[in-house]
Amino acid sequence: MTLLRLGVLASGSGSNLQAILDACAAKAIPAQVAVVIANLPDAGALERGRAAGVPAVLVPHQGVPREQYDALLVDQLRRNQVELVCLAGFMRLLSPVFLQAFQNNILNIHPSLLPAFPGLHAVRQALAAGVRVSGCTVHVVDEGTDTGPVLVQAAVPVLDDDDEDTLSARILAQEHRCYPRAIGLWAEGRYSIEGRRVRVRGAAGDPARTLAAPELSG
Tell me the catalytic residues. Answer: 110
Looking at residue 194, its amino acid is: E
Which residue, among 55, 5, 61, 56, has the nearest Cα to 29 in the 3D structure?
Answer: 5
* 183: exposed, middle or buried (Cβ count in 10 Å: 0-12, 13-18, 19+): buried
Rule CB under 6 A: choose which of 7, 49, 111, 180 binds ligand GAR: 111
Q: Is residue 198 within a helix (H) or strand (E), and if so which, with residue range?
A: strand 197-200
Q: Contact between 162 and ligand GAR (CB under 6 A)?
A: no
The answer to the question of residue 39 lying near ligand GAR (CB under 6 A) is no
Is residue 148 close enough to count as binding ligand GAR by CB under 6 A?
A: no
Q: Does 49 bind ligand GAR (CB under 6 A)?
A: no
Cα–Cα distance, 6 to 106 (Å, whole number): 10
Site for ligand GAR in 167-186 (CB under 6 A): 172, 175
State yes or no: residue 12 binds ligand GAR (CB under 6 A).
yes
By CB under 6 A, residue 9 contacts ligand GAR: no
For the bound state, the minimum distance from the C-beta of residue 205 to ligand GAR, rounded and expressed in Å, comes to: 24
Q: Are 189 and 202 in contact (CB under 8 A)?
A: no
Residues that bind ligand GAR (CB under 6 A): 10, 12-16, 88-89, 109-111, 122, 172, 175
